[in-house]
Structure 1
Amino acid sequence: MILKTKGNAENFDDIVVGTINRSGSADENSILLLQEDLVVDIAIESNFLAVITENTNKTHTNTRGPIIHSIKTLTHLQEGDIVLLNTDGVINTLYRINSPNNFMFFTERCNSNCLMCSQPPKNRDDSRYFFEVNSRLIPLIPNDCLELGITGGEPTLLGNYFFSLLKLLKKHLPDTNVPCLTNGRSFAWENITKKTAEIENENLILCIPIYSDIAEIHDYVVQAKDAFHQTVRGIYNLARYNIRIELRVVLHKITIPRLVRLAEFIYKNMPFVEHIALMGLEIEGYTPHNIDKLWIDPYDYQEILKDTVFYLHTFGMKVSIYNIPLCLLPKELWPFSRKSISDWKNIYMDECSKCNVLSNCGGFFKSNTKKSSAYIKALN
Structure 2
Amino acid sequence: MLRLSGFAASANIEESAPRAALRLVTSPTGPNPNPNHDAYLFRGKTSDPGCQWVVTFEEHQAEAEKLFSDRRLIVLPDYFSYLGEGDVIRFAPDRKAVRVLFRKEANANYFLVTERCNHLCLMCSQPPKDVDDRWLAREIIDVLPLLPASTPFLGITGGEPTLVGEDFFEILSCARDHLPATPIHILSNGRTFKDKAFAQRYQAIGHRRLSLGIPIYSADPEVHDYVVQSKGAFDETIRGIMNLKAVGAEVEIRVVVHKQTYEGLADLSDFIFRNLTFVDHVTFMGLEITGFTRANMDKLWMDPYDYRSELRAAVQYLAAARINVSVYNHQLCLLDGSIHQYAKRSISDWKNEYADECASCSLRNRCGGFFSSSSLARSSHIAAFQ
Q: Give how far 1:30 is off.
A: 1.6
Which whole-Å CA distance do the structure 1 matches of 2:97 and 2:176 have between them?
A: 30
Q: Give how far 1:139 is off.
A: 0.5
Asked if 2 retains the 8 angstrom alpha-carbon contact of 1:11 and 1:66, the reply is no
Amino acid corresponding to residue 205 of structure 2 in structure 1: I
Q: Identify the residue that residue 98 of structure 2 maps to in structure 1.
A: 91
1:322-350 Cα distance to aligned partner (Å, 9 max, x none): 11110001110101111111101111100
Match of 2:118 among 111, 119, 132: 111
Match of 1:328 among 325, 334, 337: 334
Amino acid corresponding to residue 6 of structure 2 in structure 1: T
Asked if 2 retains the 8 angstrom alpha-carbon contact of 1:260 and 1:308, the reply is yes
Asked if 1 retains the 8 angstrom alpha-carbon contact of 2:53 and 2:73, the reply is no
Asked if 1 retains the 8 angstrom alpha-carbon contact of 2:138 and 2:167, the reply is no
RMSD of aligned C-alpha atoms? 2.1
Q: Identify the residue that residue 128 of structure 2 maps to in structure 1.
A: 121
Write the mapping of 1:1-380 to structure 2, written as runs, cut at 5 A. Answer: 1-9=2-10, 10-12=13-15, 13-23=17-27, 27=33, 28=35, 29-38=37-46, 46-49=50-53, 51-54=55-58, 63=69, 66-69=72-75, 71=77, 73-87=79-93, 88-127=95-134, 129-380=135-386
Which whole-Å CA distance do the structure 2 matches of 1:320 and 1:279 have between them?
A: 9
**Which 4+ residue blocks in structure 1 deviate beyond 3 angstroms?**
22-27, 34-39, 49-53, 55-67, 69-74
1:296-329 Cα distance to aligned partner (Å, 9 max, x none): 1111111111111111111111111111110001
How many residue pairs align between the two structures? 375
Asked if 2 retains the 8 angstrom alpha-carbon contact of 1:115 and 1:223, the reply is yes
Amino acid corresponding to residue 18 of structure 1 in structure 2: L
Asked if 2 retains the 8 angstrom alpha-carbon contact of 1:84 and 1:133, the reply is no
Q: Which moved more, 1:343-352 or 1:354-363?
A: 354-363
Residue aligned with 2:296, SS: helix
Q: Give how far 1:220 is off.
A: 0.6
Q: Give how far 1:287 is off.
A: 0.7
CA change 1:196–1:33 in 2 (3 A) is same
1:213-267 Cα distance to aligned partner (Å, 9 max, x none): 1111111101112111111111111011111100000000110111100111111
Identity across aligned pairs (percent)? Answer: 38
Instruction: Please give the TM-score of this superposition, normalised by the length of structure 1.
Output: 0.93
Point out where structure 2 has 5 or more consecutive residues left out of the alignment: none
Asked if 2 retains the 8 angstrom alpha-carbon contact of 1:2 and 1:76, the reply is no
Which whole-Å CA distance do the structure 2 matches of 1:24 and 1:210 have between them?
A: 49
Which whole-Å CA distance do the structure 2 matches of 1:198 and 1:208 have between them?
A: 19
Asked if 2 retains the 8 angstrom alpha-carbon contact of 1:24 and 1:38, the reply is no
